[in-house]
Amino acid sequence: MQRYRAENLTAATARILEAAGSSVEEARVVAEHLVDANLAGHDSHGVGMLPAYIEHLRSGLFVANQTPEVVNDAGAVIVVDARHGLGQHMVLKALDLGIARAKEVGACVVAVRESAHVGRIGAYAEYCAAAGLASTHFVNVVDHTPIVAPFGGSDGRFITNPFCAALPGPNGPTPLLDMATSTIAFGKARVARNKGVPVPEGTLLDEAGRPTNDPTALVDEKRGALTAFGLHKGSGLAILCEVFAGALAGERTIQPENPRRGSIVNNLLSILMDPKAFGDPLTIAKEAAAFGAYVKASPPAPGVDEVLLPGEPEARSRAERQASGVPVDPMTIEQIKEAGRSVGLSEAELGMLVRS
């Protein structure tokens, strides 16, 4: 598979977003976020999302250059309406408010509602950790057809509803857990479809509720459903993400009385905590590091090379792909070029932009 330098992917993504109406700043923020997801190994949330973003910007479902509105400031709780602005740009602005407040009072809950797709949630935990804060994040998805079946169910009743948490450490967040509550993210099914490969066994149901590993019907026609990870446990966590992010933060869940226009709208509930409010940050970081070392010292099971902490695979992928380039399949590259054509970029400019 062809590999592309991260800076070239970032430049191409930003240019296409600018052509679709985003400011230079917004285009840069979104492009850097998408490419960083690729670098972290989460191609499901990388530049392959760009065609959907452009489609939704052109249709008006996403709004470029939006200004988030604080609709309630209750001290340790800040509620922000993103007004369908591009999620990466909107969430960082909201988190900046929450980070400042958490450092002032020890903790802050930030609710972001009605945001266009926010991307890889782990990036926000990394952002908070870089500011010295621990954080947890709950996300739901609305305005869209449900594509994840509850435990024991046979059709979609919610979406991939990610959960994320991280503790700051001296060399970055330690550990960082960022996961969809489905067995795989929908974007991973899209990546598999584009590559022409099956999804892993146990991750997908067909429209009759039977197990399948062909992602085509789900990706192209929204027929069938993903499964929740961990049986009843993942299904339960997905439901909690729906009510915490959806009902509490966003006042909108995916239940059918709410509109489903085919967009990707996220509600986000982020809990930001300043370690200084709990004790000595250095002591906390050392204790977390000692526990992590204890976990990693477990003798690997047969067939396993090494015990890894949450966040280590992403860090290793980032180092490898920074050095060797980001692999992107030909279908995704063509979809990105088509997105560029749809906003008026010439073949010559696309040829210069989308290059390895």
Domain parsing of the chain, residue ranges: 1-62+325-355
The pLDDT of 325-337, averaged and rounded, is 96
What CA–CA distance (Å, rounded) separates 1 from 33?
22
The pLDDT of 60-73, averaged and rounded, is 98
The pLDDT of 179-200, averaged and rounded, is 92
Length of the chain: 356
The string of pLDDT tens digits covering residues 23-45 is 999 999 999 999 999 999 999 99
pLDDT at 81 > cutoff 80: yes
Q: Which CATH architecture has domain 1-62+325-355?
A: Orthogonal Bundle (1.10)
Burial class (CB in 10 A: 0-12, 13-18, 19+), 331: middle
Residues 6+ apart with CB under 8 A from 154: 205, 208, 209, 225
> Helix, strand or coil for residue 169?
strand
The pLDDT of 201-220, averaged and rounded, is 93
The pLDDT of 218-245, averaged and rounded, is 96
Q: Are 218 and 204 in contact (CB under 8 A)?
A: yes
Q: Are 265 and 66 in contact (CB under 8 A)?
A: no
Q: Please report which confidence band the pLDDT of residue 187 belongs to, taking 50, 70 and 90 as the band edges.
A: confident
> Please, what is the average pLDDT of the chain?
96
Task: Tell me the backbone φ, ψ of residue 148, rounded to 5 degrees.
Answer: -120, 130
Q: What is the pLDDT of residue 355?
A: 80
Q: What is the pLDDT of residue 192?
A: 93
Angle at 342 between CA 119 and CA 61, to 5 degrees: 45
The pLDDT of 269-289, averaged and rounded, is 97
pLDDT at 173 > cutoff 80: no
pLDDT at 278 > cutoff 90: yes
Q: Please report which confidence band the pLDDT of residue 356 belongs to, taking 50, 70 and 90 as the band edges.
A: confident
pLDDT at 189 > cutoff 80: yes
